């Protein structure tokens, strides 16, 4: 049997032994020098593992393996467990295999799957989405002074630039030489933060631009 298939098989048989409460089966899967680590257990040995952890099998109904990644003689597993009372939890574990035995298991993360936890996770995702910087491409119309306005906005908003500037020729529709400014994207700028930070400068700029327009 190839190494990859053996690793996956040993991992799945380990969880199956918990589901069937088959201690003899799991004893045959673990090496004599087996160690187990979790947030509550620091490299405990095989004997301590069976004394401290195995009794929990009586409370477990099932495991649903969601992800299983293998590389060489190692594997990471993410699963959802179900207790006999219907409660659920989710966990991520690392397995190291030596020969045809499980040599090491490390538990890195565990969380209860509850309505409150699911709601909190959804709220956290919503906050992240709200706070994520937005890409904005403003469209501003100026009856004159367009180029000055564009340069002013670029000076205020970070990571922004004038993409293109074209000028009217003899055919118009405006006086020859007047500018028609293209996109002024403000990449990665959060609109609300930018507004708060730049309110004073924008107000001052409007006065300056109005004066430029009136002077024409």
Least confident of 24-28, 114-118, 197-201: 197-201
Tell me: pLDDT of 212 over 90: no
Is the CATH number 3.40.50 carried by domain 146-215? no
pLDDT-derived band of residue 153, with 50, 70 and 90 as boundaries? Answer: confident
What tokens does 155 get?
């000076």
Coil vs helix vs strand at 11: helix
pLDDT digits (tens, 9 = 90+) for 34-79: 999 998 889 999 999 999 999 999 999 999 999 999 999 999 999 9
Going from N- to C-terminal start, the domains of the chain cover 3-127, 146-215
CA distances from 117 to 63, 100, 216 (A): 19, 38, 62
Comparing 175 with 111, which gets the higher pLDDT? 111
Which has more confidence, 173 or 41? Answer: 41
The b-or-e profile of 25-56 (16+ CB within 10 A means b, else e) is ebeebbbeebbbbbeebeebeeeebbeebeee
**pLDDT tens sequence across 77-86:** 999 999 888 8
Q: What is the greatest pairwise CA distance in the chain?
A: 93
**3-127 to CATH, choices 3.40.190.100, 3.40.640.10, 3.10.450.50, 3.40.50.300:** 3.10.450.50
Mean per-residue pLDDT of the chain: 76
């Amino acid at each position: 049997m190839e190494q990859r298939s053996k690793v996956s098989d040993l991992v799945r048989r380990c969880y199956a032994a918990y589901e069937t409460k088959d201690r003899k089966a799991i004893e045959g899967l673990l090496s004599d020098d087996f160690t187990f680590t979790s947030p509550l257990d620091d490299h405990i040995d095989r004997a301590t593992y069976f004394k401290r952890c195995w009794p929990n099998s009586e409370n477990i109904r099932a495991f649903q393996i969601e992800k299983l990644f293998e590389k060489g003689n190692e594997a990471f597993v993410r699963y959802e467990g179900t207790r006999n009372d219907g409660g659920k939890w989710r966990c991520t574990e690392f397995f190291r295999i030596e020969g045809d035995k499980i040599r090491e298991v490390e538990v890195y993360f565990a969380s209860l799957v509850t309505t409150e936890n699911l709601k909190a996770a959804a709220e956290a995702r919503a906050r992240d989405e709200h706070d994520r910087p937005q890409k904005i491409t403003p469209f501003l119309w100026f009856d004159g002074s367009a180029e000055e306005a564009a340069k002013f906005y670029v000076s205020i908003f970070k990571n922004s630039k004038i993409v293109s500037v074209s000028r009217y020729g003899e055919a118009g529709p405006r006086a020859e030489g007047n500018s028609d400014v293209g996109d002024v994207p403000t990449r990665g700028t959060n609109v609300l933060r930018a507004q708060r930070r730049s309110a004073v400068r924008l107000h001052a700029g409007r006065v300056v631009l109005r004066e430029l327009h009136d002077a024409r």
